Structure 1
Amino acid sequence: MERVHFLAQSCFHEQAEKTFLEQKEKILRLLPEADVQHVGSTAVPNSLTKGDLDIQVRVPAEMFTAAVEKLSTLYGINEGSVQTDYFRAFQDDATDPPLGVQLTVVDSELDVFWKFREVLLAYDAYRAEYDELKKAYEGKSMEAYRKAKQRFFARLMETPEFKNL
């Protein structure tokens, strides 16, 4: 069983930001019109993180299929993730830190990652609540943590702070 562990975001910030900028440059060479954003806990100061880097790539609907093909030349498809006409997840475990790339159609149902980051940056109480959730799952099952994380973000999506974005 895979166990989850967390450290302070500050332990990863410098390397995560360096890797983000390198990957952003690669992505924009292939998709110059994309909106490429550093999301996830490494983008939120003072948070706890597993230490992986998350990037969201946002494209218009008419570019989605071409974007999937182009990003597939850089990264492997995350086979364990959902695949739709407006969302695709990629991964690269060889980068430092390991990388997840979420490709979304702008304004689609799963165009939420940048919004999560914005709420966690603007409202410290939500960030602290998320960190408490992580502390509760330290050393426990990754699957159980992912379920709890999903419930947290589903609840966050119902808040006025999220809905106003």
Structure 2
Amino acid sequence: MKDEPAFNLVDTQDASLRAERLFNEVRLLVAAAVPIADIRHIGATAVPGCLTKGDLDIVVRVLADKFEQADQALSLLFPRNFGSIRTSTFSAFEDSAKAPHLGVQLVAIDGPHDFFHQFAEALKMSPELLQAYNELKMEFAGRDKTTYRRAKDAFIEKALAGYCRRK
């Protein structure tokens, strides 16, 4: 997307504090609407020392047979992210009116997209992986988001392959 703004990083400490405050608010809303969910703060603002663009990412994990019910409940709370895929085991929502920008990913537990929390855990457990991820982010700072996302997706895929082998 040519009209998309560049990928930029913000003050990590301030962004993490703002994201944690919003996470605590959103977690209560989601838990009330989807009491069966495992709700986790994921993404860069969930990982101490991780460089960030300053948004908040949350994963909402539910059993596969509760996915459609959870999807409907979340659709009443947040706008759908129409720039993302939607399947029978994955659905994305976002709220750009929130500060910071909010992204919510709904996944079926053990489904093909149930990895977001694993990547955050891998970054927390491995200073080397976190350093490599931060270096990737610095390399793409100021550049277009599409190119950054491709590089980030490849990095995550490789990191998760190693993480899952170690588990």
Same fold per superposition (TM over 0.5):
yes
Given candidates 23, 27, 30, the residue that maps to 1:20 is 23
With the length of structure 2 as denominator, give the TM-score of the two structures.
0.95
Residue aligning to 2:113 = 110
Aligned to 1:134: 137
User: Share of identical aligned residues, percent?
Assistant: 37
Q: Which amino acid aligns with 1:155?
A: K
- Alpha-carbon RMSD across the aligned residues, in angstroms, is 1.0
- TM-score normalised by L of structure 1: 0.96
CA contact (8 A) 1:92 1:100 kept: yes
8 A Cα contact 1:40 1:54, kept in partner = yes
Structure-2 separation of matches of 1:33 and 1:6:
35
| Structure 1 residues not aligned, in runs of 5+ | none
Kindly state the Cα deviation for residue 28 of structure 1 after the two structures are TM-superposed. Answer: 0.4
Q: Which residue of 1 aligns with 2:154?
A: 151
**Separation (CA, whole Å) in 2 of partners of 1:157 and 1:28:** 28
Change over 3 Å in CA distance of 1:84–1:164 after alignment to 2:
farther
1:112-142 CA distances to partner (integer Å, 9 max, x unpaired)?
0100000000001111101100000010010
SS at match of 1:45: coil
Q: How many residues align?
A: 164
Q: Which residue does the alignment assign to 1:162? A: 164
Instruction: Give the Cα separation in 2 of the matches to 1:76 and 1:15.
Output: 21
Structure 1 CA distance, aligned partners of 2:165 and 2:79? 32
Matched residue, 1:5: 8
Q: Which residue of 2 aligns with 1:51?
A: 54
**Deviation larger for 135-144 or 8-17:** 8-17
* 1:158, distance to aligned residue in structure 2 (A): 1.4
Asked if 1:86 corresponds to 2:127, the answer is no
In 2: Cα distance, 1:55 partner to 1:16 partner: 10
Q: CA separation in 1, counterparts of 2:14 and 2:131? A: 18
Distance (Å, rounded) in 2 between the aligned partners of 1:119 and 1:66: 30
Instruction: Please say if 1:67 is aligned against 2:95.
Output: no
Structure 2 gap segments, 5+ residues each: none
